[in-house]
Chains A and B, each alone.
Chain A
Amino acid sequence: MGFKIKKSILYIALIILGLTCLLPFMLMVVNATRSGAEISQSFTFIPGHNLQENWNRLFEYFNLFAGIRNSVIVAVPATLLGVYFPAMTAYGLAMYKFKGNNVIFGAILAFMMIPGQLSLIGFYQLCSTLHLVNSYIPLVIPAIAATGTVFFLRQYIIASVPTSLVEAARIDGANELYTFHRIIIPLVSPAMATMGIMGFIGNWNNYLLPMIILTKTDKFTLPVMMATLRAATDLASNQGATYLAVAISVIPILLVFCFFSRYIISSISAGAVKG
């Protein structure tokens, strides 16, 4: 009996917590169906009747699906590269003992401290000289140098991958790349999935760099496109359309989360050295 009471209290607490997390999302979806005037005047969870109008207004400004496609073209490769190469680097830093290991790690730490916005004009000029303005390469390739991810994965590997495992693989004749792909990645995949989710959200929402680099409307990624809704003379009536755009743009993030979170859970128990 006491157990049941405890359990129900726990469940109620969790339900409240869950609702608190969901309400802002609900509000976003509801607001996507209301007119700009309604949104600025009151707050409700009852859907309005302006979905069609908001949709039309939104597509008057731009093609949202083209934006989603552009964002996928940028965010998916950037995320995958931004997880795979840092994992490799982290593995090297954690497992191999060589001269300068600490220096390299120190340098990576130091680069973590520099905010990217500082070098914006310089980066633009570099891209301009290399004729990379208005292409996706400057948005995708630099994602390889994800210093934060390297740091995180290095600590994770040191803490959870025993050296003996790598030694065993080596004795059995696996080459280094094979060891990395077949032994290390499955072990580190929970951490990689975590960084992957964060990286994807970061790339998906990245605004400043695409805003600077991309100069053609048809190449704009989603955040850059959505920001242009603010350029109208009639801001208030665009609010519903903005909510609609945000609501639609969140869907891919949710999908990615569902996909990656499976790995986080399933891999926690996978693989270890016995005894």
Chain B
Amino acid sequence: MKMKKLLALALAGTMALSMAACGSSSESASSDSAASTDSSAESTEGGSGEKLVIWTLAKDLDAFGQYYQEKTGTEVETVVIEPADYPTKVQTAIMGGETEPDIIVGEPQMLQDMYDNGFFANLDELGAKDHEGEIVDYVWKVGQDADGIQRAISYQITPAGFYYRRDIAQEVFGTDDPTEIGKLFADYDTILDTAKTLKDAGYRIFASDSEVGYFSGDSAWVVDGKLNVNEARYDYMDLVVALYQNDLTAYANQWSTPWYQAMSGEVPILTAEIQNYEDDSVNVWDAESFAEATKDLEKTEVFAFGLPAWGVLTMRDNVGDTAGKWGVCSGPAYGFGGGTYIGISELSNRKELAWDFIQFVTLNEETADWWIEKSQGDTVSLIAALDKHKDDANEVYGGEQLYSFWLEQAKGIDYSKVTKYDQVINDAWGAAIGNIKTGTMSKEDALAGFYDTVESTYPDITVER
């Protein structure tokens, strides 16, 4: 009997609750939509109660939004969305005809698809043409679609460089000058020689064999609809295989514990088996058991890391006692990695305001100064700001003037070599190299597998084997 009463009560509660819940949510939904129509009406009039809606995948933009609100009084609503789901979210909203968000963003590998689908508004119509040349050239180009129309702009540059240990350079090569050390990384053969010299001196050139990855794109993967595997690609493959098979790295995996530890000093030289997890006696993800299991292994110090400009922050947080002993130099080719590009949604009703925001974030020198301070050393894309800070010395990197260095590197980036196929083809090429270096496949088999992958993923690309 009790049971029945209880159930009846629960059911009555169910109905009441669900009705209340539905009622309140529909109410707030309608008031919300009312509010948004209000604000869009206001924004067309250009009143002071304007509002801007930003959908972003990088938390950075939240800070920019708040700063904009502080400076202009415009209400900025920033919605941060998980990066992996960001394209899905934007796609459904824009295909569903939503006029909000006003500002949408993308990372370089997503941008081509977003341009092709017409998600970004034409910034040239809003006056982007007037600012050509104020932003580092490659960033400007990444923000253009296939027809050369400006669709997005980034506030950062992300050119890649080698971060190297000055003290080791001084000892082995007799100099720590970035230009001189840069010559040791000038091409793939030289890197191999440098690696051998360092090994003879008791050091290792890299912690992992992936460090040259950012510099491997010296030619476009696809030219006129044809897969283009030029000589430099094979040279890169040979370099990685040689680094691996001749014991020239510390066999750490990028982003694993020993890889980070190598930034702050001595690390044990692992074996190829440990790196591949064939030998699981060493747990590379656990610092304590790692120290215990590797105490009998030979120790070494690592000379260099290859990372984009944001590596400045990663290294700074992990170098520990070696702070001040690092330097940054150029690599065998120009490369870049990552970056957040900001554009306006094609369906936005507040394009003028949104364009003002983009100008504020990317083209305003004062904002750039603020961001350099706020992010503690992010590299901005505004040339005027880079010029202004070109004499700033970074003490972690032995007082090197990093902003002028990155600007030089960024100038060398040729964006025409970047295609929308890069991500998949790079992954397939990396997998082929992995199979060759560990000996699981012959070179012919691995290359055949690579061609198969490209052919099946992109049937429209002609593959000549």
On A, residues with C-beta under 8 Å from B are 40-43, 61, 73, 76-77, 80-81, 84, 120-121, 124-125, 127-128, 131-137, 140-141, 181-182, 185-186, 189, 208, 211-212, 215-217, 224, 227-228, 230-233, 266-267, 270
Question: Which of chain B's residues has its CB closest to A38's CB?
Answer: B287
Decide if A77 touches B257 in the complex (CB within 8 Å). no
In the complex, what's the smallest C-beta–C-beta distance from A39 to chain B, in angstroms? 10
- With A41-B257, A228-B80 given, name 17 new contacts (CB 8 A): A61-B59, A61-B80, A77-B21, A80-B14, A124-B96, A125-B96, A133-B96, A133-B98, A134-B32, A135-B29, A136-B25, A185-B7, A211-B88, A231-B83, A232-B59, A267-B3, A270-B3
Decide if A231 touches B7 in the complex (CB within 8 Å). no
Decide if A81 touches B18 in the complex (CB within 8 Å). yes
**Which chain B residues numbered 13 to 50 have a C-beta less than 8 Å away from chain A?**
14, 17-18, 21-22, 24-26, 28-30, 32-33
Decide if A186 touches B4 in the complex (CB within 8 Å). yes
Decide if B60 touches A227 in the complex (CB within 8 Å). no
Contacts of B4 in A (CB 8 A): 182, 186
Contacts of A215 in B (CB 8 A): 55, 79, 93, 98, 100-101
Decide if A233 touches B88 in the complex (CB within 8 Å). no
Contacts of B89 in A (CB 8 A): 211-212
Decide if B11 touches A84 in the complex (CB within 8 Å). yes
Residue among B22, B55, B82 with most chain A CB within 10 A: B82
A-B CB proximity, top 7 nearest: A135-B29, A227-B82, A77-B18, A41-B287, A136-B25, A80-B14, A128-B96
Contacts of B97 in A (CB 8 A): 125, 128
In the complex, what's the smallest C-beta–C-beta distance from A77 to chain B, in angstroms? 4
State in angstroms the CA–CA spacing of A37 and B89 once bound together.
31
State in angstroms the CA–CA spacing of A121 and B117 once bound together.
15
B286 lies within 8 A of chain A by Cβ = yes
State in angstroms the CA–CA spacing of A134 and B93 once bound together.
11
Decide if A216 touches B98 in the complex (CB within 8 Å). no
Contacts of A232 in B (CB 8 A): 58-59
Contact for A131 among B30, B95, B286, CB less than 8 A: B30
Contact for A135 among B28, B79, B80, CB less than 8 A: B28
Decide if A121 touches B95 in the complex (CB within 8 Å). yes
Decide if A212 touches B58 in the complex (CB within 8 Å). no
State in angstroms the CA–CA spacing of A127 and B310 once bound together.
40
Contacts of A84 in B (CB 8 A): 11, 14
Decide if A216 touches B7 in the complex (CB within 8 Å). no
Question: Which of chain B's residues has its CB closest to A214's CB?
Answer: B79
Contacts of B3 in A (CB 8 A): 186, 266-267, 270
Q: Can you show 19 pairs from A to B with CB atoms below 8 A apart?
A: A61-B80, A120-B88, A121-B95, A121-B96, A124-B95, A128-B96, A128-B97, A132-B29, A137-B25, A181-B8, A186-B3, A189-B7, A212-B89, A215-B100, A215-B101, A217-B77, A231-B59, A231-B80, A233-B375
In the complex, what's the smallest C-beta–C-beta distance from B178 to chain A, in angstroms? 26
Contacts of B287 in A (CB 8 A): 41-42
Contact for A230 among B28, B82, B98, B101, CB less than 8 A: B82
State in angstroms the CA–CA spacing of A127 and B93 once bound together.
11
Question: Which of chain A's residues has its CB closest to B257's CB?
Answer: A41
Contacts of B18 in A (CB 8 A): 77, 80-81, 140
- Known contacts: A42-B287, A135-B29. The answer to whether A217 contacts B79 by CB under 8 A is yes
Decide if B92 touches A212 in the complex (CB within 8 Å). yes
State in angstroms the CA–CA spacing of A128 and B21 once bound together.
20
Contacts of A121 in B (CB 8 A): 91-92, 95-96
Decide if A140 touches B21 in the complex (CB within 8 Å). yes
State in angstroms the CA–CA spacing of A81 and B11 once bound together.
10
Decide if B257 touches A128 in the complex (CB within 8 Å). no
State in angstroms the CA–CA spacing of A267 and B92 once bound together.
45
**Which chain B residues numbered 310 to 342 have a C-beta less than 8 Å away from chain A?**
310, 313
Contacts of B7 in A (CB 8 A): 181, 185-186, 189
In the complex, what's the smallest C-beta–C-beta distance from A15 to chain B, in angstroms? 26
B57 lies within 8 A of chain A by Cβ = yes
Question: Which of chain B's residues has its CB closest to A227's CB?
Answer: B82
Residue among B7, B25, B79 with most chain A CB within 10 A: B25
**Which chain B residues numbered 51 to 69 have a C-beta less than 8 Å away from chain A?**
55-60
Contact for B92 among A43, A124, A216, A231, CB less than 8 A: A124
